[in-house]
Amino acid sequence: MSDEPPAAREIAPAKLNLALHVRGKLPDGRHRIETIFAFCTDGDRVSAAPYEHIWVETKGPFGAEVSGYDNLVTKAAMLLRERRGPNLLDGGAWIILDKQLPVASGIGGGSADAAATLRLLTSLWGMDPKHAQEIAPELGSDVPACLLSLTAKGTGAGDDLSPIALPGISGTPVLLVNPGVPLSTAEVFAAWDGEDHGPLGDWRKGRNDLEAAATALVPKIGNVLAWLSEQRGTTFVRMSGSGATCFALFESEGARDAAADAVPQEWWRLATFLR
């Protein structure tokens, strides 16, 4: 392959669940949730250019963990290509995924990558964006939210979306911290206590109902949450998704940066802002 990177680029923003209430089960067996999605200004990076077939390269600190054809970027590209029709199947795309976010970490890395790929390729191939919207739920419950990449309330399995306004949240400094342990979403949901602890109202007064299950599987999550809560200038601390990434909102960029500098070396961190 050429050393020249594809010209069209997209950020695949890190996803945060400001609150996540598990309310029970849906008829199809998936868990019924209520959640508030928010997105960061930073994340993975996806780029693409026309090519004779679908070719996906990975790089970045976590690129080796998602290399090969069994990843959501490849699946998204293949599914979208099928929607182009039989006369257009000879065209493809050369895609580069720069994987900056840890894998299986509760911040929607794979889902955001798939969503960025759908956005890029619908533009590259001149397709109606409705095709991306139709495909997104097939790739995972978080992919529709990541396709939107705006603050929204998710119900159902998290894929029934209602955009919402949270005044003053855009531009909030945020620090993401992961203890360096991948965590299976399926295992965390399987360990959920099965209790409906009530509906989601004000996200600041809400919960992450998966936190206890995730912490039981990875006790270091408790250490991260405790450490974040001790940092000066924090206004809110919570685990995101099924973990193990936790996050803190800060009253100022300076306070966030001071905390980022103090994160234990063995933990992954990302200092960023909410979109």
What are the residue numbers of the active site?
A: 15, 142
What CATH number belongs to 173-273? 3.30.70.890
Condensed to tens digits (0 to 9), the pLDDT of residues 171-230 reads: 999 999 999 999 999 999 999 999 999 999 999 999 999 999 999 999 999 999 999 999
What CATH number belongs to 8-162? 3.30.230.10
**Model pLDDT, residue 269:** 98
What are the residue ranges in the chain where pLDDT is below 70? 1-6, 85-90
- Residue limits of CATH 3.30.70.890 in the chain: 173-273
- Residue limits of CATH 3.30.230.10 in the chain: 8-162
The H-assigned helical ranges of the chain are 72-82, 109-124, 130-139, 143-148, 185-191, 211-217, 220-229, 253-262
- What is the distance of C-alpha 165 from the center of its chain? 20
Amino acid at 43: G
